[in-house]
Structure 1
Amino acid sequence: MYKVLIVDDEILFREYLRTVLNWESFGFVICGEAKNGQEALLKASETRPDLALVDINMPIMDGIDLSTELKEKYPNMAIVMVTGYSEFEYARRALKLGVEDYILKPFNPEELFLTLVKIKSQLQKLSEDRKVHKDQLHWLREQFLNMLISQDLTLKDDELVTQFERFGISPSSDPYVVITIEIDNLYQKWDSNQEIQLWKSTISNILSEILTWKGHNLVFFGPEDRIISIAQIDLGETCASMMETESLKRLCDMVKRHFKFTVTVGIGRSHDGFTGIRESYMEALTALQSKLTAGNGTVIEYQDTDLTKQGFYSSVVNEKMMLALRMNDHAELKKHLDDVFQYIREQRLTPDMTYVIVMGLVSLCLSHIVANGQDIVSVLGAGFAPYQEMKRQENLEKTYSWIEEIMSKTLKSNEEGNRTSRSKRIFNEAKLLIEQNYQDPNLSIETITRLVFVNGSYLRKIFNKEAEMSISDYLTQVRMHKAKELIIQKTHTIMTISEKVGYNDPGYFSKCFKKYFGLSPSEVDVMNG
C-alpha cells in the first residue's frame, strides 16, 4: 500500500478527499491529515508518505512553500497540487519545483482516480528502479570485495579509498585479517543452487553477528562458494584476537549441533595496507588446505609449516582456471590442468595431497555450475559422487581423464545455461557505464575496468564474446549514434555536439563521424533538412 498525506485547511474538503474513493482498493491508504504546511511537515516526518495531496492556498505555510520543503527533504515523495481555477498559474509554477501533477477544484471521483493511476505508475517504477539500483550496488560491492582478495588488484591506494567510500565503508590504518569459511562436502549435500545460496547466506549472517572486531567486518561470498570476511583489528588487543578465534570455534560448534553439517574456518595472519588483504587471504586458503590433517569442522590458523615450505599447491592456479571456465576457454583450461598434473608428478605428492588438489578442481567446476544458476545433477548426472569416484581412480592418468571429463561437461553447461552468468553481468554493467558516461572525453577501458572491478584483458574477452565487437568500438558506436540524434534535432552546433559525445576536437569528431557513417555531420544535417 502507498501512503497518502492529505493537506488542506478546509475540514470539509479533507473529509471529501478521505471518503470520495475506496483508497485501499486502488493500493493507497490515508496515513495522515494536516491543515497547513507546518503541520504537514511534522506529519510527513512521522509517517513518510509516498504521496501528498497539497492545497495551494493555506495559512501559515502555503502549498508552494510546503512542496519546496517536501521535495528537498523527501525527493522521492510524489506531490499532487489541489487548486482552484484562480490559482491555476501557481499550480503550473509548482510543476517546475518537481511536483508530479495538479488537479483543479471542483473535480469528480473519476478525475481523482485517473490522477492516482498515473501517480501509482510513477511510484511503482520508482520502487522498481530502487530495487534494481540496490541489487546493482550489492553486486558491485561483491565484485569490489572479491577484487581485493584476487590477483587483479590494480587500483592505487587513493582509488581504493574512493571505492571503499562508494560502498559506505570507511577504511582505517588498522591491519587486515582475512577469514575464509568452507561448508564441508557442500556439493555432496545439496545440488540445488537455491539451497546452496540459502545455506551460504545463513552462515554469512551468523558470521556477521558473532564477530566483534573493533574495525569493519566485511562479509561476502568469495570464489568456490566460500564465505569470506575481511576484518580490521587492533594488534594491541591480543585478547580480542583470541576471543574472535573462540567465536569462530563457537560458530563451527553451533553449525554442527543445529544444522547437522560442518564448516571449516581458515584464518590468515594480519597484514598492513590494502595489498595485505590479498596476502592474508592466500594464507587463509592455505590454512583451509590443511584440513586434510586437522579435520573438518575446525578453525585453522595459518602457520608457516613444512607443508607450505614444500611448495604446497598455489590457489593462484585455481583463479586462472576459474577465469578460463567463465570465458568458456577450453584450450586455456586444459593448459592449466596439464600444468597442475605436471606439478603433482614433479613434486611427487602423496596420494592424500593429490586428493586435496583434485577435489579443489572438482569444487571449481561445481561452484561454476551453481554460479550459472544450474543444478549439479542436470550437468553431471544424478549419480555424481565426486569423493567416492575420486577414490576409485586407479592411477594419476585415470584421475586426469576423470577430472577432464568433469571440466568438459562444465564447459558444455555454459552453452546450455539460461540464467545470467557472472561474465554476462559484468558485460551489462560495463555497457551501462558506457551509455551513462559516453560524454566524458576521458572515458577509457581502464576507467571502466576500475568501476566494474575486473582486469582489462578479461573485460575485453567478455565484450568480444557478448557484443561481437571490441569495447572501444562499442564506445564509438554509442557516441556516433547519439551524435547523429543530436544533429537531426538541429538544436546544437557541431562543436557543441562533439563536446556532448566526448570529443574535445570538433575536427577529429567530424573525421570519426564520416568514417563511421560514410557521411560528414554537415551532410547528415542537409539530408534531414
Structure 2
Amino acid sequence: MIKILIVDDEKWTRETIKQFGKWKEYGIEVIEEAVDGQEALRLIEQMSPDIVITDMKMPGVDGMELLRIVAERFPQIKLIVASGYDDFNYMRQAILSKVNEYLLKPINAEELNLALEKCTKEIQNHLRSHLIKPFSFFSKDITALIMEYKKKISSFLDELNTEGFENVMQRFFNELKKVDRIDSNFLAKIEHEFILLLEEKMIKNDCNVSDMFEKNEDLINESSLSLDLLLKKQQGLGKRYIDYMLNLKKRKSRVNLQEIKEYIDRNFADSHISLEVLANKFFVSKEYLSKAFKNMYGGNITEYIVSRRMEQAKQLLDDNELQIKSIATMVGYEDISYFYRVFKKYFKISPGEMRQS
C-alpha cells in the first residue's frame, strides 16, 4: 500500500491534485493533507508516507526547509514539488534534496501523473530489490556468534577505532566462513544486523546521513553476493562512519569564525541564510556560534547579515536603472514590504528617499 502526503497552504491546489491523480492506477490508497511544513513533518512522523507533494512558499516551515529536513531524516521518501515559482533558490534546494519532479502551477494533470508513475515505479523496484526470501531461524551457535561480534563491532565504532573495527570484522567473517550453509537469506541477515547497528549509532549521534554516505552510493547499492563482498561493503561503510565522526569532532572543537564570516560575505544575498543554517553547516550549536561571533566581531550574526545586505542595497540604489523590487531580491529579500521596513530601520530613510537624495 502506497501512501501520499499533499502539502500546500491553498485548499484549491490540494483539491486539484486530489482530483487529477490516478491514485488507484498507481496503487496509492492513503492520501493525507497538510497546510504547512510543520504540520507535514508531524504527519510524516505518524503515517510514514512513501511520496510527498509539496508547495515551496508557505507560512511557517516552508517548502525549502521541509525538503531539507525530509532529505536528511527521511531519505526513502519520494519528493515532488508543485510550485508557482520558477526560482533559482527553490530549484537549487530541490536538486540538493534529490526531488523526483519539479512541477509548475497551475498543475497539469498529465505531468502530475507522469511524476506519480515515476515515483511508484521506483518504490516498487526498491521493494523488489530488497525482497528477502522466507525467514529462517539460525542455529543457537550462529546466533550467539552474531550477537558476540555485534557487541565488539559496536564498541570499536563507539571508540572511532578504525584498525580495531577492521580487525574484528575480519575475525568475524573468518568465523562465518566456517559455517556449512551460506545462502542469500544468511547474507541478508548479516547485512541487516550491521545496517541496524549503524543506524543506531547515527541516530544516537544525530548524524546527517546524506552527508555521511553521499559519496558512497555505489557502496551502499552494491549487491553483496558473497561473504567477501559483504565484508568489503561493511568495512567500507564502517570506516566512512568513523571518518565522518572524527571530522565532526574536529570541527566542533575548532570553530573558524573567520571562515564563517567569509562564508557570510559570499552568501549574504541568499534569502535562506540564517544562524541556524550556519550552525548546521559548520557543525556547531547555535548558542555557541552566536556568542563566539559576537565576542569576536562585536555584533551578532543576524545583525551582520543585515548590515551586508543593506550596504549592498545602498550601492545598488546608485544605479537608477534597477527597480527597488529587483534590488530587494538581489540582496536576499523576497518580500518587498519587509525589505522596506528593514532598510528604513537601518538607514532611517526609505530606499526611494535615498535614491532621490
Q: Considering the TM-score relative to the shorter chain, is it more than 0.5?
A: no
TM-score, normalised via structure 1 length: 0.29
TM-score, normalised via structure 2 length: 0.42
Larger Rg: 1
